[in-house]
Structure 1
Amino acid sequence: MSTSTNQTTRKLADGNEIPLLGLGVWQVPDGPDCVKAVRWALELGYRHIDTAQAYRNEGSVGKALKESGVDRDDVFITTKFLPRAKDPVAELEQSLRRLGLDHVDLYIVHWPEGGPTWMWPGMERARELGYARSIGVSNFSETELASVAGIADVMPVVDQVNFNPTAFRRVLLDACQRRDVVLEAYSPLGTGSLLSDATVGAIAARVGRTPAQVLLRWCVQRGVPVLSKSTHRDRIEANGRIFDFALTDEDFSQLDALDRTGGTGNGLEQPWW
């Protein structure tokens, strides 16, 4: 594992670039809290914001982006297709209205409800229309990615999954690399459970960083884009300070050993739909 990389973006298979650190707004209510979190992140240098139709807060993300004064072209915006709907194009048109944008940088199938392939032609159409610069998936397994590959004219460039040391999906990560799909991490802190882990704490103490910074660095140092989530300015700021230190090979070995999935090729442990 390289310990010297300070890259802050990663090139996708379609030539676009995704910032390695993003602010996620899952479970942040639409309204002032979401607007403030996104504005703070943009003020603090974040250039990647991740929302979804299911989160019901796209309007707040759009409001914050507009109020921030940051150039639209400098910010990578992701939203996700809610597969309980029928048409990815029609749903993205609604998302763009809520966001106040003419396109998103990445449009993702949120989960493979109803099977992994039925929505993909609509996702490709959204890209053809210029509504999305890149298209991808989320919570897709190695097998489900292979199914999409079997019918796709344009492959997903991202698979966004639950990924952290206790959910170190080695087989899925390898499968993504073979298909030139970037695995992207959500819940990098184990929804908070890993912040009190003894191994994480010991490494954090050694490198003089917070446990959250160590966990985020575990992702970005291996080239995995990561979504951190907070509505507290000080934590958003701290979570952004992950590009000026490195973990050692021994640190990676200790963190990797926390995996509880058996290095699975699945995108998640069980479906919620």
Structure 2
Amino acid sequence: MTANEITQDGRARVLADGGTLPLLGLGVWQVPEGRECVDAVRWALDAGYRHIDTAQVYRNEASVGKALKDSGIDRDEVYITTKFFPRQNDPVAAVEQSLRALGVDQVDLYLVHWPQGGPTWAWPGMERVVENGYARSIGVSNFSASDLDAVTADARRTPSVNQVSYSPVAFREGLLDACRRHDIALEAYSPLGTGRLLSNATVVDIASNIGRTPAQVLLRWVVQRGIPAISKSVHRERIEENLRIFDFTLSPEDVARLDALDRTGRTGIALERPWW
């Protein structure tokens, strides 16, 4: 298979480096270390999720690792993403700490969490992470189109992924185009608009018409485009419910209605209000 193709089972995206990124993963942002995080990850793995997305700044990598170990699922069957906290100096030293916390020898994807200090300074260290065998794939997060241009200009290894806020109200078509131009997979976080979109009238109407939940409609809008998505929940029934998005298709009319919710003007910017 070639980059940007979807795997035969329709559940993963082929990356430019040859890896495969599941189209749906569980994210654990704002889930505290401990029982709540362990339970959420275990419920997800038991339900059939095979991608868990964490980060150094989340401070819950140890709970993700415990849940993975307790699940009994082979390490090679679960895709693990973590992210470099760019207020630290060295991506290599940081990922070594992450691996110890997670209890694994390698992560599947390691991302620069945001472009603090500029988009390029951390990238040589990210490339060393791969050379040292600590990550199969490396990428970025919250990088705008101009950031991607900068980091790819001198890179020996192009980022495989750019994880950004992406949903019907944040339909960043310019950024999506930039990712395609560089053969980088855009990955969506906050596809539910951090929950705000669940009560949107258009989303609710579409969900009612097709007998699905608003969350399923929003997640399907993302993955139907071949874009991987990270959903977050600590409620078992919602975790299981969110996975049931591969047995239906949104009509072109429903997709167009959701597209029309965009508030970004199809921007190439990753975040309207950066926090760094």
Classify the TM-score, shorter chain.
Answer: over 0.9
Once the two structures are TM-superposed, the CA of residue 206 in structure 1 deviates from its matched residue by 1.2
1:16 aligns with 2:11: no
Structural mapping, 1:111-190, within 5 Å: 111-190=114-193
Letter in structure 2 aligned against 1:132: A
Equivalent of 2:253 in 234, 250, 254: 250
Equivalent of 1:65 in 63, 68, 75: 68
Tell me how far apart the structure 1 counterparts of residues 111 and 134 of structure 2 sit (CA, whole Å): 12
**5+ residue gaps in structure 2?**
1-7
Q: Deviations over 1:172-205 (max 9, x none)?
A: 0011111110000000100111000010011101
1:105 aligns with 2:97: no
**Contact 1:6/1:244 (CA < 8 Å) preserved in 2?**
no
2:100 match: secondary structure: helix
**5+ residue gaps in structure 1?**
none
2:253 match: secondary structure: helix
**Which residue of 1 is the match for residue 5 of structure 2?**
none
Once the two structures are TM-superposed, the CA of residue 220 in structure 1 deviates from its matched residue by 0.4
1:155 match: secondary structure: coil
**Contact 1:103/1:133 (CA < 8 Å) preserved in 2?**
yes
Q: Deviations over 1:156-177 (max 9, x none)?
A: 0100000000000000001111
Once the two structures are TM-superposed, the CA of residue 6 in structure 1 deviates from its matched residue by 6.6
1:42 aligns with 2:45: yes
**Which residue of 2 is the match for residue 263 of structure 1?**
266
Tell me how far apart the structure 2 counterparts of residues 242 and 268 of structure 1 sit (CA, whole Å): 27
Equivalent of 1:7 in 10, 13, 19: 10
Once the two structures are TM-superposed, the CA of residue 251 in structure 1 deviates from its matched residue by 0.8
Equivalent of 2:36 in 33, 37, 40: 33
2:32 match: secondary structure: coil
**Which residue of 1 is the match for residue 236 of structure 2?**
233
Tell me how far apart the structure 2 counterparts of residues 159 and 267 of structure 1 sit (CA, whole Å): 9
TM-score normalised by structure 1 residue count: 0.98
Tell me how far apart the structure 2 counterparts of residues 199 and 190 of structure 1 sit (CA, whole Å): 14
Once the two structures are TM-superposed, the CA of residue 242 in structure 1 deviates from its matched residue by 0.3
Q: Deviations over 1:32-75 (max 9, x none)?
A: 00000000000000000000000000000000000001110000
Letter in structure 1 aligned against 2:152: A
Once the two structures are TM-superposed, the CA of residue 151 in structure 1 deviates from its matched residue by 1.4
**Contact 1:87/1:119 (CA < 8 Å) preserved in 2?**
yes
Aligned CA distance change for structure 1 residues 6 and 195 (closer, same or farther; 3 Å) = farther
Q: Deviations over 1:194-234 (max 9, x none)?
A: 00001001110111100000000000000110001000000
1:195 aligns with 2:198: yes
Tell me how far apart the structure 2 counterparts of residues 222 and 190 of structure 1 sit (CA, whole Å): 17
**Which residue of 1 is the match for residue 86 of structure 2?**
83
**Which residue of 1 is the match for residue 218 of structure 2?**
215
Instruction: Indicate the RMSD between aligned Cα atoms, in angstroms.
Output: 0.8
Tell me how far apart the structure 2 counterparts of residues 26 and 158 of structure 1 sit (CA, whole Å): 18
Equivalent of 1:51 in 37, 50, 54: 54
Deviating runs (4+, > 6 A) in structure 1? none
Q: Percent identity?
A: 69
